Amino acid sequence: MTKTRATITAVGHWVPEERLTNADFEKMVDTTDEWIRTRTGISERRILRKGATSDLAANAIQATLKNRGISASEIDLIIVATVTPDMFFPCTACLVQERIGAKKAWGFDVSAACSGFPFALVTGAQFIENGTCKKVIVVGADKMSSITDYTDRANCILFGDAGGAVLLEPCEDPSGGIIDHILRCDGSGEKALNMRGGGSLNPPTHETVDKKMHYIFQDGKTVFKAAVVGMADVSGEIMERNKLQGKDVDWLVPHQANLRIIDATSDRMGLDRSKVMINIDRYGNTTAATIPLCLSEWWQAGKLRKGQTIVMASFGAGYTWGAVLARWTAENAQRG
Ligand code: UT7
């Protein structure tokens, strides 16, 4: 008997309206538009002034349900990937469940930083594959502005706020859906990328606040080197073990941390830039939201189409990294 695969049947996203441009950063820290664009590929990011990660997630889920034409009461499970939960507990999935009125759903959060979406996607797919759920929402949402030190020029220019969601259902097309995944972690990376304040190791005190331990710490160069190798390695490996060449892949959907990391990954896969989803210029690094935000924008624009083969790839704090191979089965977007 062949196993039931999970597939993405709908996507949606939501971003706040307020933009922080490179010109705004030129007024805040010692930087230039030229440095930011050439070193990262970023021109602007969105900032959520009022509200929290659950708002980003709930809005992205509502957009996804609308695109599928179903109501929240049909959802069985909600998985929220985030490193900026509204609070330590209850989990953001519970807050979102109540907000959208997903009466029969249960849910939980996944913490895998920039790899949160692939980790949550693969987790959600298991519940479809084993037959216990029919409709699973996987949402990546992060209010990175809530943990960003806007005096740290090396890091503050990188991050933005966004939410992106997908709906997983059993796949009716035997050649479609989520085909394969490679997920990895290496805790030795903790030293290079972390937020050490606020948890059980360093509970919040005046001292932890004074030492700025509730902000993102990143040794950019070290993370950059690990990311270039990690993301390219798993992307290459998933292609090799599925006997795929560059010509067989329609889209690379990379985590949007740095354009130079994305280029290294597409080079390793033998993919032309025209087959790579890139929106880092408009949103910066939105952590768990980057991949579903790309999927949603490309689907909406009619560029991500039924039957296409995609590789989603990520690298982030932990370290965590991975690649997911899928064949797109969602109906094409209706464009006016
Ligand atoms: O998504 C989670 C995973 N995260 C990542 O994948 C991020 C990986 N890292 C990166 O993307 C890059 O390392 C950064 C974009 C963060 C930094 O780029 P870099 O090319 O590695 O720069 P750097 O940190 O080596 O700094 C080069 C120079 C330094 O000056 P000196 O020491 O050479 O005089 C920095 O002080 O650039 C300076 N610098 C800046 N200059 C202008 C650092 N930040 C800025 C800035 N504007 N914003």
Q: How far apart are CA 193 and CA 318, in angstroms?
A: 7
Tokens read off for 204: 């919040």
State the pLDDT at residue 335. Answer: 64
pLDDT category of residue 162 using cuts at 50, 70 and 90: very high
- Residue 334, pLDDT > 80, answer no
- Residue 312, pLDDT > 70, answer yes
Residues 110 and 71 in one domain: yes
Helical H segments across 109-188, by residue range: 116-129, 153-156
Residue 194 annotated as catalytic: no
Is residue 150 within 6 Å of ligand 1 at its C-beta? no
Using alpha carbons only, what angle is made at residue 118 by residues 60 and 94, rounded to the nearest 5 degrees?
A: 50
Contact of 102 with 54, CB cutoff 8 Å = no
Q: How far apart are CA 124 and CA 301, in angstroms?
A: 26
Q: How far apart are CA 161 and CA 310, in angstroms?
A: 25
Please report, for the domain that includes residue 282, its CATH number.
3.40.47.10
pLDDT category of residue 2 using cuts at 50, 70 and 90: low
Residues 11 and 132 in one domain: yes
Ligand 1, atom 35, lies closest to the CA of: 154
Instruction: For residue range 127-147, list pLDDT tens digits in order.
Output: 999 999 999 999 999 999 999
Q: Give the other-Cβ count within 10 Å of 334's Cβ.
A: 7
Cβ neighbourhood burial of 4 (10 Å; 0-12, 13-18, 19+): middle
Instruction: For residue range 262-295, list pLDDT tens digits in order.
Output: 999 999 888 999 999 999 999 999 999 999 999 9
Confirm whether 143 is domain-assigned.
yes
Residue 224, domain extent: 177-327
**What is the residue whose two structure tokens read 């991500």?**
304
Mean pLDDT for 197-204 is 97
% the chain with pLDDT above 70: 99
DSSP state of 184: E
State the pLDDT at residue 3. Answer: 80
Distance 37 CA to ligand 1 centre (A): 12
State the pLDDT at residue 1. Answer: 55
Given 91, 94, 114, 133, the catalytic residue: 114
Total domain count, the chain: 2
Ligand 1, atom 8, lies closest to the CA of: 224
Is residue 220 within 6 Å of ligand 1 at its C-beta? yes
Mean pLDDT for 85-111 is 98
